Amino acid sequence: MKFDTPATTNPIDNLKVVGRPTHRIDGSLKTTGRATYAYEWHDPDLRYAYGYPVGAAIAKGRILSIDATDAKSARGVLAVVTTLDVGDRKRGEYNTANLFGGSQVQHYHQAIALVIAETFEQARAAASLIKVEYAEEAGSFDLAGAMETAVKPDDDQAPDTAFGDFDKGYADAPVTLDAKYSTPDQSHAAMEPHASIAAWDGDEVQVWTSSQMIDWWRGDLATFLDIDKDKIRLMSPYIGGGFGGKLFLRVDAVLAALGAKAVGRAVKVALPRPFIMNNTTHRPATIQRVRIGATADGRIQAIAHESWSGDLAGGKVEPAVNQTRLLYAGANRMTAMRLATLDLAEGNAMRAPGEAPGLMALEVAMDEMAEKLGLDPIQLRVINDTQVDPEKPERPFSKRDLIGCLRLGAERFGWSDRGQPGSRREGNWMIGTGVAAAYRDNLLIPSGARVRLGQDGVITVETDMTDIGTGSYTIIAQTAAEMMGVTVDEVEVRLGDSRFPISAGSGGQFGANSSTSGVYAACVKLREAVAQKLGFNSDEVVFENSKVRAGNRSVTLSEAAGPEGLVGEDTMEWGDLAKTHQQSTFGAHFVEVGVDVFTGECRVRRMLAVCAAGRILNPITARSQVIGAMTMGVGGALSEELAVDTRRGFFVNHDLAGYEVAVHADIPHQEVIFLDETDPMSSPMKAKGVGELGLCGVSAAIANAVYNATAVRVRDYPVTLDKLIGGLPEVA
């Protein structure tokens, strides 16, 4: 099915199941420990061995030799596979760094060996016995120091943009702002480590893993192993968090496959936490410059956003300027991004790539501009709202209610009580309130599904879509139930298996809308098959109460299925509606903080997110997504920073003790409001994504609240007490 005209009335609009608050159908499995994650799979017919990785102790250079003699003779060791044994391999489409193979070291903790033993402890002990000789080379590890050598990426990756005449518009503006901001390297820090099990059967391999994108991984693993893609079965039905860190094939799957081949047994590999921080991907640091010129009444007449980030050679920029092209009006505009080569682990997608760090700068700059203009920060944003793409005025937004989000949020949060910076106190606590706009593009990915109707009347959905804790099982079940006129209890959902039709996968906020649209398309096929078998006119048929009806004739779905059952399979593909209309999601974040007047310690007191993101398929799972994103925003604002050893080239705080994510005690109260909205330009579901929108702007709202509390402006994240304490009031 191709979605190339705006959606009209369809079975989803009945809203008997879709849109209803429905608890996760996999919830009891997870809370009782019956959901099987990657490292936990157990087949009684397989003999399992355990692999432990060895990482490079340098950040750049070559491996001269690897001596595994002592490791191979250690108790319980079955084999040692080294990067020199494997030799150079083709790199997959979605990887920047080589995952394994060859003598070149591109970053610290790049995997260079795997020890396989009877037990995990034996493998770990033997790994420490491996001796490696290196030829170390000087590397570049500091973004600030590499800015002058940063280059413009290819236009297809990150083009410079210009509309109007920014230089003239900025020079002519009566009120201007020119400010620099920085965001640090950040880790996905998912609770479940990267883990895989591999088992070979002849020339075919099965891999149980933790992957957000089944087909991407399968293709890149086939490239690395130099085998046909059809020889790989990849399974990932449950994932304990990904946040973008499991979008692309990682070394645990590669090592498990190589180890299993070497010992002729199933091999389990889980990356230790320091490996996750230094071997896998991370969100790159940015240095950003924002310039805004406005008239005295607050109308932006010039806006520019430039950003610098770093990655390995051949890598990509962090697209931190993208939202600035679309969020606010302004006749004269420009954006630019530059990429520095850094010899750190690969920088790549982390929840809301681009918008998350970009809004950390832009939305603070908007607050600073509001202060210069003597305007309320919300009013400045409202004045500069636009209903068309500022660079292509002929291209309207399909739906845009940023103003509605801001105004409703202001009313619900008590914005009018905000006060001037540094004016509110409760005992030793300085109190502040901040706001930021939220913005994230609505991305669409082709997505397929297969839907079966059994003689028992049960609808079975099969798709390689994944569930990273987002509620995919539930919203897919709701979609099939709505389309086929049954209850959620009469739907079985099977996910995360490469034998199933290829889906959108989980990431980029595209998973929910795209995957349910794929299920919609497959259900349309199944409905047609049922109608055809019964001799019904498919345009008149009604599916409800587990029956199919046309006119005065009604048949149960069980009877319609018969002993053979019926199947519908299709893939939702996308036309050009996203080209004719800008499709985006919007929101507003409100935060109240307290800052200790003696120490500068910051505490978030309450948070509110108001989101306009099309039809909300399940308010319960959508709310969970947003409050989780808001929690990540607290970490990004106040504590999360991968500290770089700029001499040796690695992240020093490479575990969850040193890399501080927000915890329950940091989050006292959160509220989420979804505007009642549908977007027929987006999909037959009339939905959009919301899981990344909930993060966009949160950190800026916190930084703005801290300024309102203290009158101290911090432009370099995280906003830690050492950056505040020098500007706090004198105390006895």
Q: Are 239 and 70 contacting, i.e. CB atoms less than 8 angstroms apart?
A: no
- The answer for residues whose C-beta is within 8 angstroms of residue 176's C-beta and 6 or more apart is 170, 291, 292, 293, 294
Helix crossing, 698-710 with 619-638: angle to 10°?
50
Nearest residue to 475 (alpha-carbon basis) of 648, 614, 361: 614
The Cα–Cα gap between 669 and 607 comes to: 6
Q: Where are the alpha helices (DSSP H) in 639-679?
A: none
Query: In this structure, is the dihedral angle defined by the CA atoms of residues 119, 120, 125 and 129, taken in order, positive or negative?
Result: positive
DSSP 420: S
Nearest residue to 463 (alpha-carbon basis) of 536, 423, 523: 523
The Cα–Cα gap between 333 and 181 comes to: 19
Tokens 């706009």: give the residue. Answer: 437
From residue 59, alpha-carbon distances to 105, 134, 137, 142 in Å are 7, 11, 8, 13
Nearest residue to 103 (alpha-carbon basis) of 113, 93, 94, 95: 113
Q: Are 120 and 52 contacting, i.e. CB atoms less than 8 angstroms apart?
A: yes
The Cα–Cα gap between 716 and 728 comes to: 17
> Is 490 tagged catalytic?
no
Give the 3-state secondary structure of residue 446: coil
Q: Active-site residue among 40, 564, 692, 730?
A: 692
Query: In this structure, is the dihedral angle defined by the CA atoms of residues 528, 531, 533 and 535, taken in order, positive or negative?
Result: negative
DSSP 587: E
- Cis-peptide into 446, omega within 30 deg: no
Largest separation between any pair of C-alpha atoms in the chain: 87
Count other Cβ atoms within 10 Å, centred on residue 26.
21
Catalytic residue positions, numbered = 692
